[in-house]
Structure 1
Amino acid sequence: MLYPYRASAAKNRMRWQFGVLVPPSFAAAGSEHSHQRTECLMEPRRGARLTVELRFLHVQRRTVQRQRADRGFEEVDELALSDRVLVPWDEGVPERLEVSFPVDELTVERVSVPFDLPACEVQEVVYENERPVGRLTRRRERLDGVLNLSAAELPGPYGALRLTAVVENSSVWTPPDGADRESALRRSLVAAHLLLGLDAGAFVSMTDPPQWAAPAVTQCRNEHTWPVLAGAAGAADVVLSSPIILSDHPEIAPESPGALYDATEIDEILTLRTAALTEQEKREARGTDELAGAVIDLADSLPPEVLERLHGAVRGLREVTSAGVTSAGPDGDGFPGPSPDTPWWDPGADRSVDPALDRVVVDGRSVGAGSRVVLKPGRRRTDAQDLFLHGRTALVEAVLRDVDGAVHLAVTIDGDPGADLWRAQGRFRYFQPDEVTPVEDL
């Protein structure tokens, strides 16, 4: 559900994008998948128990009916009330499955936990001025799945295990001719993710593993999901395996006053734009979903001091000086940074650096503008867009340094039809030297 939180908005007509596990029969005919696989490393203590919680949404279809004069009902596209406009809508019902096993059992044999959610239908009478004017009918289709768990010891002296958790949609459903994604979604696990917890022991970070665990981490298979450490910073007893890429210990900014359901939320912009919706748009949003109505009420009720906090926050302060910053010239030698009276924020005044001529040594080779490299984005500081570029070759356009002295390579991707446009606009992708490998000039 995205801003402007109305079912009629174009962006809300294609929904359920992440963590969707469709029935196997539908997966075989298209690009969707029916399972997700999590593999991570853990160091359990003697007698430890593993708790696994699967969370997902079960899609239910809501239809709207108006009460006729003969007290019967007829299905309609909308039912206008004084405070909202009710329309048909697919709702997500949160579901949870929690299991717990001694870790030792998982090393002996795989444990399978089947689950099923039966089909159901419920009706809700809609009142206006204390008299019934219509009703909502909610239908859910049957959904079957299985959670498979196993653990295997890693070779070596560390006493670590590789944990494997596979979630599968096992629903038996034969798509009729012309069946579309919307039909499959009602028999799918949506936004499926796992929480894994140890009551004694710790998990190993898959993003920033210790040196001894790095080789084993690279051998883990994670399909359609990615595990990160969760909970407070420094804790390692809980893992969140999510269908989107997160960093270890993800958290919501403390300034955020409530959920806006808009993926990468920009609270201030969304709150102000939501508050600026017309009254008719707000009625449509309230009739689309109760959660959308809560967003509308939140935006309308935030006091000025809360809105002010959304404008920005300072997490920490550090001193920024020009002293000690060095740059490498074409010969690879360092030379002093700008003089103390040169404003650090004015790159035009700093004659000690030249992005077009500066070079940096990577794997023993000098790299600068005109060099070609193979991209290997680091998991520790990347995003999904960069990961898609792993293994691609690119042309280095400039060598840049920030105020902390860190080096960044501005590149354009080989074969990108928009490369000339990005170059003309000075828009590049940026990687650090340890995220590239030099190649011979083509």
Structure 2
Amino acid sequence: MRTDCPSPPLDGAEAVADAILYEGYLLYPYRRSSVKNRVRWQFGVLMPPAWAEAHGLADSGVAGSAESPWQQTACLVEAQDTATVRIRLRFLHLQRKVAELRTADGGYRPVDRMEVGDRTELSFDEAVPREFDIEASVRDLRRGRRLDVRVPGGEDVEPLFDDRGEPVGRVVRRRWPLSAAVTASAVPCQAPFRLLRLGIRVENTDRTTAPDSPRDEALRCCLLAAHTLAAVSRGRFLSLLDPPEWAAQAARECRNVHTFPVLAGEPGTADVLLSSPIILYDHPRIAPESPGDLHDATEIDEILSLRTLTLSDAEKREVRATDPRAAAILDRVDTMPPEVFERLHGAIRALGPVGRRGDAATDPERPWWEPGAEAAVSPDNETVLVGGTVLARGSRVRLRPRRRGTDAHDMFLDGRTGRVEQVLLDVDGTRFLAVTVDDDPGAELHQWYGRLRHFRPEEVEPLSGGTAAP
């Protein structure tokens, strides 16, 4: 339905969305033979429903790494009935690349690897990006809207010739049909001001995949790295990470399954939202120093680029034979100018004061990491005062993580209890509590090898086990 107020464009948020789309698509060293590239498609995988049921995929948590036949976004929006909402579903469609050798009778047979002159082709899975839009007024969404998604199968054939121009083989890329549905709705929330809960449910509706098929076959009819973007005209989305106090209860009632929505676009704006199978902060962005996609947005561009340069000629040949996107990464890294590499080495985003220097014996403000001062700091013996209670190793606390400036995953620990394992001090003089979570089945293992969760003192509430302040 068209309205007199078009929704804002979504293109500004697609740089981050593309990083999500190809996160883990193919990991360094970008070769098919690498173990890490033998089990692919790790986030936002929507499986055929019968296959998912047969394999017990009933998880309904927020983790986008859990495979499921559906995902659900719930977010808050302030908008009038005449406002326009635009929703974009984006995902990858698996494409199977098969190298086929020409036989003596003029036919073709699939092979794992084929050499044609200086070109090598490997049979491997690729993917094609897909996207579909719904645009409707808020009034229409209050009645509910559904979009049935149909993606046809297809086949592309690339013949291969020898030096004499004789056909010796071909590369065949096959895609299977996909079917899915997107359902969008807007319902009023209980709040002192006009507030709506926008719901977006994406489900795989394929009925052709046998429940007992191997995963590799089921993936042919899956939505891979599925996520949604939404934009609203003459309205705004509210942050679920840091909602206004009057909308806090409505934010807690939003149930997100296998995806989580955050504000997208430039900081200070609230008309675009990204719902991702990878947990993000509000207003995520790609570092301006990054020269291009490396298929692993959580890694450091400099390290990956330098490692890529160390690949041998034989390894680079395999990279090029594995996937065209991997070949593009190799080309970009091989031709990267020195000034671009220099930018990747690091950037200063903010400056802060440096503690003054003094004598360890007479200056209590002397930085603890300097020689002679470090002996005064022991994480196992340090204490910190929180709410009139002294916390130390062994104290029990209730976790109340901040909504901003902390690990986005920590918000799911709100209200959980834990045990303080260490009181830490960083180079800025800030204290942190290293904590194990009580009902974490791996707590003892984490404690043993020091993989602890870290919180500021203001992010915990003392429980019994603390020591009253003198």
**TM-score (normalised: structure 1):** 0.88
Counterpart position of 1:168: 203
Counterpart position of 2:421: 397
**Structure 1 position 22 matched with structure 2 position 47:** yes
Distance 2:409 2:97 in 1: 35
**Given that residues 55 and 193 in structure 1 are in contact (C-alpha distance below 8 angstroms), is that contact kept between their aligned partners in structure 2?**
yes
Q: Which amino acid aligns with 2:194?
A: G
Counterpart position of 2:445: 418
Q: Which amino acid aligns with 1:52?
A: I
| Unmatched tracts of structure 1, length 5 or more | 324-336
**Structure 1 position 133 matched with structure 2 position 168:** yes
**Structure 1 position 8 matched with structure 2 position 42:** no
Q: 1:261 aligns with which of 275, 287, 295?
A: 295
Q: Which amino acid aligns with 2:390?
A: S
Q: Which amino acid aligns with 2:350?
A: G
Distance 2:437 2:224 in 1: 34
Q: Deviations over 1:186-237 (max 9, x none)?
A: 1110000001001221111111112222111111001000101111111111
**Structure 1 position 432 matched with structure 2 position 456:** yes
SS at match of 1:28: helix
SS at match of 1:214: helix
Q: Which amino acid aligns with 1:421?
A: W
Over 3 Å counting, the alpha-carbon distance change for 1:406 and 1:45 in structure 2 is: farther
Q: Which amino acid aligns with 2:249?
A: P
Q: Which amino acid aligns with 2:141?
A: L
Distance 2:415 2:404 in 1: 17
| Unmatched tracts of structure 2, length 5 or more | 1-25, 58-66
**Given that residues 38 and 225 in structure 1 are in contact (C-alpha distance below 8 angstroms), is that contact kept between their aligned partners in structure 2?**
yes
Once the two structures are overlaid, the 10-residue window that deviates more, 388-397 or 55-64, is 388-397
Counterpart position of 1:289: 323
**Structure 1 position 318 matched with structure 2 position 352:** yes
**Given that residues 209 and 221 in structure 2 are in contact (C-alpha distance below 8 angstroms), is that contact kept between their aligned partners in structure 1?**
no
Q: 1:247 aligns with which of 242, 261, 281?
A: 281
Shift of 1:103: 1.1
**Given that residues 369 and 396 in structure 1 are in contact (C-alpha distance below 8 angstroms), is that contact kept between their aligned partners in structure 2?**
yes
The size of the alignment, in residue pairs, is: 423
SS at match of 1:240: strand
Shift of 1:339: 4.1
Shift of 1:81: 3.3
Q: Which amino acid aligns with 2:317?
A: R
Over 3 Å counting, the alpha-carbon distance change for 1:82 and 1:378 in structure 2 is: farther
Distance 1:219 1:348 in 2: 53
Q: Which amino acid aligns with 1:313?
A: A
Q: 1:305 aligns with which of 339, 352, 358?
A: 339
Shift of 1:362: 3.9
Over 3 Å counting, the alpha-carbon distance change for 1:21 and 1:347 in structure 2 is: farther
Identical amino acids, percent of aligned pairs: 49
Counterpart position of 1:59: 94
Counterpart position of 1:154: 189
Over 3 Å counting, the alpha-carbon distance change for 1:419 and 1:74 in structure 2 is: closer
What is the root-mean-square deviation in Å for CA atoms of aligned residues? 2.6
Counterpart position of 2:214: 180
Distance 2:34 2:376 in 1: 52
Distance 1:410 1:255 in 2: 33
**Given that residues 83 and 137 in structure 2 are in contact (C-alpha distance below 8 angstroms), is that contact kept between their aligned partners in structure 1?**
yes
Over 3 Å counting, the alpha-carbon distance change for 1:302 and 1:82 in structure 2 is: farther
Pairwise mapping of residues 22-421 of structure 1 onto structure 2 (< 5 A)?
22-30=47-55, 31=57, 32-45=67-80, 47-107=82-142, 109-129=143-163, 130-175=165-210, 177=212, 179-321=213-355, 338-339=363-364, 342-343=366-367, 345-346=369-370, 349=373, 355-362=379-386, 365-383=389-407, 386=410, 393-414=417-438, 416-419=443-446, 421=448
